[in-house]
Structure 1
């Protein structure tokens, strides 16, 4: 292992048993050592995401071989490298998609899953990019085949995923329609860049989408709700429309009219990211580096930031996310 001197132990936020936000507590653990193709990052900030909350609740365990510590994205400095890395990344500022371990002072990442942090991008902002950027890019553009000039419907418009979808839609010439749970959040979504924002508590989003699109419908739905939203989402789709599910917050089962799907040539798909192979994530990272990262480097793409909490207040960060008060990304500062 090449590198600079690092301590033997570190502080991390973990939990002994599933439960509410208060089960999170600070523990002292050995600093991990990088294996082949891995780097050790001295974490400056870690992103907080909905899957972290679901893991803490006991419904989304870490995949085999992954760290049980929550946290799927980090930003900081490379302080050690494992074998098999031809580049010289020591001292480099990077952000990374990781399978776990982000809520800690040091975290392992595959170097192929890292992106360089430009000088004018803060490490807090950098930590807020990988999870949502990988997720939205893969599901909207790779799996959902979004094309210039199309219309996209996104639920949870002020979430981390929703705000990233809005920003990428603007960069790649899509019309973005989002749903939100209050007028204040609808206003925030429009400021962020949504073309249309629908308050799902006071309006029927299916009827509003039909009105906005002149009855044509949207080309693509990015769905984080599932359950009884699915048939309503399909009613929003234009012919040859695509429906991509990335979470099942509203339930895992949906009742569908397959004859309508056939007649209108609809495509239903979905994905999860965390358990995909290292090679798959490296391929997505490479495509993002080529197609999206130039917008980060020139300042045209920045994450929507909500609030920063110290690592010791990870429970408060989770409570804020569960309350649904956030607009954009929550990060933890080490």
Structure 2
């Protein structure tokens, strides 16, 4: 089969389309013909040598943490799937390829209203956003701040927070256009972080109370302002570190506000935990995607052979929603 291989750590040019052996499914696996996969920040880090695929080192270093496609074959212990099913799901890696093997617990039936590109853009960011908001214990009536509201995770989190009953969803982004587009998906108030102090804007929007939940993909650069924006008994969850992982923090504010902070990652979790997150998403969020209430937003689609160009585009932070690779015709 054809796959995009990281030939060595480096820039986009190290991504090469190569012939590699077809994957072989085990007794608990699905063999899937991939129709689409989507880009994530972890793919770029993996390409640069900073975020290897968890588990045993594969024979070929192929990025890609999600997929959508058709089941070609099933293992002897697989339940609930048959060849021909339209499926999508999480991967530890390997999605930039014509075929993948995945444990059946990590697969879901793809809603018929989604194109292959939309289905391929769904699993990683929507499961991540849903899982993060659940870990924060978000309940109806609470106020939420979502950073990078135009990113894949941000677009998902805005909509999921509204479905979960958030009374006020505030989002940050680096352009007015992204905030306008996020507003069409349910964002109540937007902050252009290039022009405004988001902590001050959050306090204005909440009458000085702050937000109950913060979903942050930035990390160190936002720590002090996040603490300022957090309400009494507020909860913050870190799902990314685009702004660095080290800061001289005033941790006293955690005591003063009786606040809590936690970090999360999805890729490195054991299959059992990822399977639980998948099933929770499948039960609570996927029906809203199937009905059209929650939109899967695809910014741009590239052919598999143009993975390098796709990663360059994503790295420039111009996308709203997901960047997708189409696999085959």
* TM-score bin, normalised by smaller chain: over 0.9
CA distance in 2 between counterparts of 1:185 and 1:289 reads 28
1:41 paired with 2:27, answer no
1:313 paired with 2:306, answer yes
Of 119, 122, 126, which residue of structure 2 is paired with 1:129? 122
CA distance in 1 between counterparts of 2:201 and 2:97 reads 44
Match of 1:11 in 2: 2
Of 136, 154, 177, which residue of structure 2 is paired with 1:162? 154
CA distance in 2 between counterparts of 1:225 and 1:51 reads 14
Match of 2:238 in 1: 245
CA distance in 2 between counterparts of 1:69 and 1:199 reads 36
1:97-112 matched pairs, under 5 angstroms? 97-112=90-105
**2:79 and 2:104 in contact (8 A); partners too:** no
Structure 1 residue 332 displacement after superposition = 0.3
1:96 paired with 2:93, answer no
**1:159 and 1:328 in contact (8 A); partners too:** yes
Give structure 1 stretches of 5+ with no counterpart.
1-9
**2:215 and 2:239 in contact (8 A); partners too:** yes
Structure 1 residue 297 displacement after superposition = 2.3
Of 254, 259, 272, which residue of structure 1 is paired with 2:252? 259
CA distance in 2 between counterparts of 1:268 and 1:90 reads 43
**2:216 and 2:240 in contact (8 A); partners too:** yes
Listed one character per residue, the Cα deviations across residues 31-84 of structure 1 (whole Å, up to 9, x for unaligned) are 101113110110000011111111111111111236531000000000011231
TM-score by length of 1: 0.94
**1:72 and 1:131 in contact (8 A); partners too:** yes
CA distance in 1 between counterparts of 2:251 and 2:152 reads 32
1:1-334 matched pairs, under 5 angstroms? 10-65=1-56, 67=58, 68-141=61-134, 143-174=135-166, 175-334=168-327
Match of 1:7 in 2: none
SS in structure 2 of the partner of residue 280 of structure 1: helix
Distance 1:66 1:137, change over 3 A: farther
CA distance in 2 between counterparts of 1:66 and 1:192 reads 40
**1:218 and 1:237 in contact (8 A); partners too:** yes
What's the C-alpha RMSD, in Å, of the aligned pairs? Answer: 1.2
Match of 1:6 in 2: none
SS in structure 2 of the partner of residue 320 of structure 1: helix
Structure 1 residue 88 displacement after superposition = 4.0
CA distance in 2 between counterparts of 1:196 and 1:88 reads 42
Structure 1 residue 118 displacement after superposition = 2.0
SS in structure 2 of the partner of residue 86 of structure 1: coil
Structure 1 residue 21 displacement after superposition = 1.3
**1:72 and 1:99 in contact (8 A); partners too:** yes
Structure 1 residue 267 displacement after superposition = 0.3
Structure 1 residue 293 displacement after superposition = 1.6
Listed one character per residue, the Cα deviations across residues 93-133 of structure 1 (whole Å, up to 9, x for unaligned) are 00011111100000111111111012222111111110001
SS in structure 1 of the partner of residue 83 of structure 2: coil
Listed one character per residue, the Cα deviations across residues 4-50 of structure 1 (whole Å, up to 9, x for unaligned) are xxxxxx00011211111121110100110111311011000001111
**2:146 and 2:172 in contact (8 A); partners too:** yes
SS in structure 1 of the partner of residue 150 of structure 2: coil
SS in structure 2 of the partner of residue 30 of structure 1: coil
**2:133 and 2:161 in contact (8 A); partners too:** no
